[in-house]
Amino acid sequence: MIGPKLYFDRTTGEVILTIPEQNNVDAVETTKEQDFIMFGVLSVRNPEMVNFIQLPYGQYRSDFEIANSWKVDIKTGQLLFDYPIFDIPLSEQLQRLVSENEKLKEENKTLMLALAESAEAQQQDKIENQLAIAELAELIATKGDI
């Protein structure tokens, strides 16, 4: 199994050719010179202006499948992916959404409890008001007899 090989412009980091990973047992690693002979996009370029990165098999597989394009940061040698819709990996987005959902569920429980307590307090206030009104009515009735 051979990981992907990326040829890029030394000055800009723009990827010229990505040779996909190969998982068959007959796969043979090729040299830069062999690749320049086999691939027309490389053969028209000055080999001194082109560099390559050989990645381990499976590395960045999902990124290559999803990304629109990629280039090499010439200062760090790291790959930079241009994703179609999102900037962070889907797995991180999913984890954030799961965490946010759990937080919202807890907030909902707290609000429902507070609402229930408020309704109970309002019911208690209503009963107390009715008792106070009854006492006032009785007091007025008693004073009216005098």
Query: What is the tens place of the pLDDT at every residue in 75-129?
Result: 999 999 998 875 677 788 889 999 999 999 999 999 999 999 999 989 998 999 9
pTM of the model: 0.57
Of all helices (H) and strands (E), which one includes residue 124? helix 90-144
CB count within 10 Å of CB 9 equals 16
Q: How far apart are CA 14 and CA 69, in angstroms?
A: 10
